[in-house]
Amino acid sequence: MLSISTDIGQGTITAFAQMAADALGIPVDDVDVADPDTSRMPDSGPTVASRTIMVVGGTVTKAAQAMARILQSHAAETLGASNVECVNGVFRAGGRALAPFAAVARRYLIERGPLVCFEQYQHPPGIEWDDKAYRGDAYPCYAWAACAVEVEVDLDTYEVSLLDVLQVADAGKAVHPVLAEGQVEGGTVQALGYALLEEHFWSAKGQLLNTRMQNYLIPTALDVPVLRTLLLENPYPSGPYGAKGLGELPMDGPAPAVAAAVLHAIGRLVPELPLSPDRVMRALESAP
């Protein structure tokens, strides 16, 4: 599997292997997702914009499906069967196992040469985007999330503590539910950091003053509660297995949710992030 999408822990390698394996009917461990190498791989686009599973994975799926069709038809020919399909690494027909995938592939290689399937992403019908004029529908669909938080505000120290956090995310299809939850949970905590802890301080000359882990503060394990995550699947018809983008989605809700929860708690809107104790104090002391 060759693409330049880069796995930095979000699970691209696993998800691509799953999607290709599913389309080909082989075990997921039999798919080798090669390290990105722009010298020998097509330009799959950058690993950004929550597009990897939906756009690139969708293209992976189509390429794997194309490969599966070619191999199926080759297997049918050479094995003298019809309605051949590959299940769990074995080509079968009429309820009988015929030949392992590797054997069929090796025979194809000998008889026809290398099999390379190349796919390019196409916007679904009805979505028009002009890249030169930069106009049209840039996005074929949207993913949705809802975030609820429960907070406690200490009226002596003005500190906001997180008691409970729930995020519900609809990304069409969770190709790998554990990895998808991981994206939601990680993005949630990062956004909670934006809500309560993370801030840039600048000198009068525009130099960043807090450049160290000691003074740019991100949440520790004690700063956030157990996160509750629910994945909803509202399939997107033009997405692979119904999948939409997910990576950035969890970032949107938590900080506004925390601000709303603090408003609910103290009756004042703290209009600036992070909701530092200093800002909470000033909101409480300002006229209602």
Partner 1 sequence: MISVTSARSLQEAFDVLARRMPGLRVLAGGTDFMVAVNARIGLERIGHVLDIWRVPELRGVTWHDGTLRIGALTTYTDLMRSALIRERLPALALVSREVGAWAIQNRGTIGGNVCNASPAGDTLPLLLAAEARLVLGGPRGERAVAADQFFLAYRKTALGADELLLRIEVPVSGRLIHRKVGTRKAQSVSRVILAACRGPAGVRIGAGCVAPIPLRCRHAEAAAGSGGDVRAALERDIAPIDDVRATALYRSRVAGNVLVRLLEAL
Partner 2 sequence: MKFTVNGEERAVEVAPLKRLLDVLRDDLGLTGTKEGCGEGECGACSVLVDGELVDSCLVPICQVEGTQVLTVEGIAPSGQLTPLQRAFVERGGAQCGICTPGMVVAAHCFLASGQPATNEAVREAIAGNLCRCTGYTKIVEAIQGGAGSAGDGRSPKGGALEEAARR
Q: Which residues bind partner 1 (CB under 8 A)?
A: 155-159, 197, 201, 209-210, 214-215, 217, 219-223, 277-278, 281
Q: Give dist(CA 17, CA 19) in Å, integer.
A: 6
Per DSSP, the three-state class of 18 is: helix
144-147: long-range contacts, CB 8 A cutoff, minimum separation 24: 144/169, 144/170, 144/234, 144/249, 145/169, 145/170, 145/184, 145/249, 145/250, 145/252, 145/253, 146/253, 147/188, 147/250, 147/252, 147/253, 147/254, 147/256, 147/257
Q: Which is nearer to partner 1, 83 or 220 (CB)?
A: 220
Rounded least distance, CB 178 to partner 2, Å: 4
Nearest partner of 247 among 187, 165, 189, 161, judged by Cα? 187
Rounded least distance, CB 209 to partner 1, Å: 6
Rounded least distance, CB 218 to partner 1, Å: 9
Q: Which is nearer to partner 2, 52 or 72 (CB)?
A: 52
Q: Which of 116, 204, 221, 287 binds partner 2 (CB under 8 A)?
A: 221
Distance (Å) of CA 132 to CA 103, 124, 129, 136, 277: 47, 19, 9, 11, 48
Rounded least distance, CB 223 to partner 2, Å: 9
Q: Is 274 in the site for partner 2 (CB under 8 A)?
A: no
Q: Which of 25, 58, 187, 239 binds partner 2 (CB under 8 A)?
A: 187
> 79: which 2 tokens?
């094995």
Q: Is 15 in the site for partner 2 (CB under 8 A)?
A: no
Rounded least distance, CB 187 to partner 2, Å: 8
Per DSSP, the three-state class of 161 is: strand
Distance (Å) of CA 47 to CA 53, 140, 188: 10, 18, 20
Q: Is 203 exposed, middle or buried (0-12, 13-18, 19+ CB in 10 A)?
A: exposed
Q: Which listed option, partner 1, partner 2, none, makes contact with residue 189 (CB within 5 to 8 Å by class)?
A: partner 2
Q: Which of 89, 93, 123, 190 binds partner 2 (CB under 8 A)?
A: 190
Q: Which listed option, partner 2, partner 1, none, makes contact with residue 159 (CB within 5 to 8 Å by class)?
A: partner 1
Q: Is 249 in the site for partner 2 (CB under 8 A)?
A: no
Q: Is 210 in the site for partner 2 (CB under 8 A)?
A: no
Q: Are 42 and 2 in contact (CB under 8 A)?
A: yes
Rounded least distance, CB 12 to partner 2, Å: 11
- Of 114-122, 128-136, 181-189, 261-269, which part binds partner 2 (CB under 8 A)? 181-189
Q: Is 11 in the site for partner 2 (CB under 8 A)?
A: yes
